[in-house]
Amino acid sequence: MVRTRVKQVDSDILIIGGGMAGTGAAWEAKYWCRGCRIVLAEKANINRSGAVAMGLSAINTYLGLKCKENTVEDYVKYVRGDLMGIVREDLVYDYARHVDSTVHLFDEWGLPIWPAPNGCYVREGKWQIMIHGESYKAIVAEAARKAIGDDNIMNRVMVTHLLKSPSNPNRVAGALGFNVNDGTIYVFKAKAIIMAAGGGSQIYRPRSQGEGLGRSWYPPWSSASSYGMMIESGAVMTMFEARFVVPRFKDGYGPVGAYQLMLKTRISNVNGQDFWKPHLEEIRKLYSGKGKYVDLPITPTTLRVYAQRLEWINGRGPSLMRTDETVKKGTDSEAIAFEDFLDMTISQVAIWAGQNHEPSERPYEVITTEPYVMGSHATECGAWASGPEDLSPRKIDGLPDDRGTQYYWGYNRMTTLDGLFCAGDACGANPHKFSSGSFTEGRLAAKSAVLYLMDHSDERIDIDKGQVDSMISKLVEPLERWEEGRYSVVTGPSTMHPVDPGKIYWKQGLFRLQKIMDEYAGGWSTMYTTNEWMLNRAIELLQFLKEDFINYAAARDWHELMRTWELWHRILTAEAVVRHMLFRKETRWPGYYVRADYPALDDENWHVFVNSRYDAKTGRWELWKVPVIHIIEFP
């Protein structure tokens, strides 16, 4: 019998996740609600957690409104074009009109942003500015800590499940989690909850194996917990078919932005030729010969990725970043080249050192990654959320007056579950937030959560003791299973791969999940290609994995229990991805995946959002289309 210590934590607002969105939510919530108790739970430590943990060399979303460099409308057009026409323009417009103020806060807090002679910032690209950002996250976290107080920051606490109100099955009233160091179980009770627990990596098999096992571009600790918790609670989710593949420097997953945008470095095939032009007409055929997306001022990310893959298929790969043409030894270009990685991807510098590589002397391979499930980069997975009142249509004619089909139901960034808000990777259909936009969206969600508290000040928040006891039993069941059968393990507890026919451990389950998704759901081993048969096979195998998890998952300590519940969140997210891909019968993002049985874009039938809802009691999924409403005129 596993002995546990249970603590109840009452709060006005509970923030789940301490990345950029979570810290933004904490800072903003305290500004508007100084008498409130705001609690933030983070499974790591907010000083170095989330996607910005290692730092960044640029802020990718800054409009420069003060210097009249860009407009909000132009940014919405850019985001819409990059996602092949399908974004929630109300949500994108909303964070875009506020993101500059967030960056100015970062500047005030001490983030070293490169100043330009004209009083603006040094540009990396049209929307990006350069920073000395190794300590980016630590600076932002300090502001959140000072705002709500260190006593309300619960580091090393993983939240695993949301709790519903016993009187309202659509009302989220709390959450359940545990300290991964000492095993203390926390029952959180909250009047409003902001979900900001990040997106999902390692759902697909990474390219890195052996010594590099687990190395990925998006952080390996981002376990899709935002999605897993919301899916299991019955929130409406959106656009999980738009998972993301990105070109990165080989093996170290170093980003390519500074090289392409700041240093103007081209990517070629192995013959030194352009990778894009040979495939221009072939790509146009996907769009019935039209240049609607092909001929935009900035080529959409998915099409650039697709062109590189076509080069490999034609035997002219891999792609090469021609650093030998733009990085000059002993100059500022070399300093920028190395600082770019030292700020955020140190492993790439280590690989270059180990391979005796000098970027000024030779090009380096660029390769596409395994897919990621996220909502803040050039993709839009996440929860379906209410938009801002002034931008979102109140009622879409011809559709049921249901939150899962409408754009607005009262509180900006509130999910279809009452009292549950989302931000960053957790909020779907509004991509290209990156770090500054995610922090901004956390601020927007927090302001709405405070308004929600004010409007429901007389509401009594209850959580059912029976529900809590049942979920605690479920939470620690993997530990119980280990204790009950520990002496049947053949190889003993010291190995990472115990042999026991009656149990499944987190790493075994993770390898199994990655194999399913890689081979059947458009991973890198199939050149990101899938079809209806393969997707149905993936669903079948995922059901077996879910059954084995429920009946046989075992954990030997609290750290393994964390990994075990991370696996569960990844499994639920993986199923959402597969079911969405199966539902959308077209290939809208060919660089991210190709539906070989529906290889072209079909705007007539699929210029829509795909939404879904999961019933945890029955295991059934419901999927449907929602029209795309454009608020900006754009071809």
Range of the domain at 297: 247-368
Main-chain phi, psi angles of 296, to 5 degrees:
-70, 160
Whether 481 is in a domain gets the answer yes
Classify each residue of 561-591 as buried b or exposed e, where b means 16 or more C-beta atoms within 10 Å of its C-beta: bbbbbbbbbbbbbbbbbbbbbbbbebbbbbb
What is the distance between the terminal CA atoms of the chain, rounded to a whole angstrom? 64
Assign residue 491 the CATH number of its domain. 1.20.58.100
CB 463 within 8 A of CB 125: no
Q: Is residue 75 part of a domain?
A: no
Q: Which residues contact 592 (CB under 8 A, 6 or more apart)?
A: 242, 243, 244, 245, 302, 305, 371, 379, 522, 528
Q: How far is CA 179 from CA 356, 480, 499, in A?
A: 43, 17, 28
192 close to 13: Cβ distance less than 8 angstroms = yes
pLDDT at 420: 98
**C-alpha gyration radius of the chain:** 24
Determine the residue type at 403: R
CATH number for the domain harbouring residue 253: 3.90.700.10
Residues of the chain with pLDDT under 70: 1, 489-498, 635
Res 445: pLDDT: 98
Q: Which residue, among 262, 300, 19, has the nearest Cα to 129 in the 3D structure?
A: 262
Task: Look at the chain and report how many structural domains it folds into.
Answer: 2
Asked if 17 and 52 touch (Cβ cutoff 8 Å), the reply is: no
**pLDDT, tens digit, for every residue of 141-182?**
999 999 999 999 999 999 999 999 999 999 999 999 999 999
Q: Is residue 455 part of a domain?
A: no
- State which H helix or E strand residue 195 sits in: strand 185-195
Q: Is 191 helix (H, G, I), strand (E, B) or coil?
A: strand
- The C-alpha atoms of residue 199 and residue 373 are separated, in whole angstroms, by 6
Residues 621 and 507 in one domain: yes
Residue 29 lies in a domain: no
Burial category of 242 from C-beta neighbours within 10 Å (exposed 0-12, middle 13-18, buried 19 and up)? buried
The whole-angstrom separation of Cα 171 and Cα 168 is 5
C-alpha pair distances (Å), 223 with each of 75, 125, 220, 562: 30, 30, 7, 10
How high is the pLDDT of residue 498? 66
3-state SS assignment for residue 265:
coil
Residue 399 belongs to a domain: no
> Are 362 and 487 contained in the same domain?
no
Which residue, 333, 368, 403, sits at the end of a domain? 368
The structure tokens listed for 582 are 């199966």
Give Cα 473 to chain centroid, integer Å: 29
DSSP class of 5 = -
Active site residues: 60, 124, 217, 248, 340, 377, 435
**Res 295: pLDDT:** 87
Query: Do 440 and 20 contact (CB within 8 A), yes or no?
Result: no
pLDDT of residue 487: 75
Contact, 206 vs 335, CB < 8 A?
no
Q: Is the peptide bond before 255 cis (omega within 30 degrees of 0)?
A: no
Give the span between the Cα atoms of 51 and 375, in whole angstroms.
12
Long-range Cβ contact pairs of 326-333 (< 8 A, separation 24 or more): 326/259, 326/263, 326/264, 326/265, 327/263, 327/265, 327/359, 327/360, 328/360, 329/358, 329/360, 329/361, 333/263
pLDDT at 65: 97
Examine residue 421 and state whether it is found in any structural domain, yes or no.
Answer: no
**What pLDDT shows up at residue 287?**
87
Residue 195, strand partner residues: 16, 422
Angle at the Cα of 415 from the Cα atoms of 412 and 421, rounded to 5 degrees: 65
Q: Give the separation between CA 347 and CA 352, rounded to whole angstroms.
A: 9
> Can you tell me which residue has the tokens 């990994």?
563
Distance between CA atoms of 534 and 543, rounded to whole angstroms?
14
User: For residues 565, 570, 571 and 573, what is the CA-based torsion angle, rounded to 10 degrees?
Assistant: 130
Q: 486 and 357 in one domain? A: no
Token output for 86: 């399908």
Domain's final residue, options 368, 402, 418: 368
In angstroms, the CA 435 to CA 376 distance is 8
pLDDT of 635 reads: 60
Q: Which of 368, 403, 422 is the last residue of a domain?
A: 368
Structure tokens at 141: 């976290």
Q: Is residue 98 part of a domain?
A: no
Q: What are phi and psi of 263, to 5 degrees?
A: -95, -5
Per the domain annotation, does 55 fall within a domain?
A: no
Q: Of 308, 299, 248, nearest to 273 (Cα)?
A: 308
Provide the percentage of residues in the chain whose pLDDT is more than 70. 98
